[in-house]
């Protein structure tokens, strides 16, 4: 029962850390006499327990419990984007930034920046 609670807690943490896409595959032990030494990734490559890697902007890890991957890039569903802004994604760098729709060279801030000289 303790393992189930720990697993549930870990899943909650991953959900918070992941930006949107999430993949979780519980490790299944088919032969107790010959337990797995790691996880098979989506390409079928064997990954050892404790290993971490990035594949197509998904941060993945292999534990004795599961293989899990989550997106490193936020998307419109997970970020509150003001109407005057848009989210620009760079899949080559696995990053995203918010820019103004009217001038994509200028950053866009979801909230007005506080100016020390103003009374606001």
Domain limits of the chain? 19-27+37-72, 73-111
Q: What does the block give as tokens for 104?
A: 């994509």
Amino acid 120: pLDDT: 43
Is 65 buried (19+), middle (13-18) or exposed (0-12) by CB count in 10 A?
middle
Residues 6+ apart with CB under 8 A from 69: 21, 22, 23, 55, 58, 59, 60, 61
Amino acid 20: pLDDT: 61
- Please work out, in degrees rounded to the nearest 5, the angle formed at the alpha carbon of residue 50 by the alpha carbons of 48 and 56: 80
Topology (CATH) of 19-27+37-72? Complement Module; domain 1 (2.10.70)
Amino acid 23: pLDDT: 83
Amino acid 18: pLDDT: 63
Tens of pLDDT, residue by residue, the chain (120 residues): 433 333 333 333 333 446 567 889 998 888 989 988 999 888 889 999 999 999 889 999 999 999 999 999 887 777 788 889 999 989 899 988 999 999 999 998 865 444 444 444
Amino acid 61: pLDDT: 96
CATH architecture, domain 73-111:
Single Sheet (2.20)
């Amino acid at each position: 029962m303790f393992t189930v609670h720990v697993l549930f807690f870990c899943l909650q943490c991953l959900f918070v850390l992941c930006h949107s896409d999430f993949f979780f595959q519980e490790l299944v032990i088919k032969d107790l006499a010959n337990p797995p030494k790691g996880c098979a990734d989506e390409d079928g490559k064997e990954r050892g327990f404790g290993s971490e890697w990035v594949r197509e902007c998904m941060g993945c890890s292999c534990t004795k419990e599961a293989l899990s991957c989550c997106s490193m890039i936020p998307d419109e569903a997970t970020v509150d984007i003001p109407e005057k802004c848009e989210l620009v994604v760079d899949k080559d760098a696995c990053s995203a930034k918010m820019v103004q729709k009217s001038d994509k060279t200028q950053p866009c801030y979801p909230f007005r920046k506080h100016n020390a000289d103003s009374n606001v």
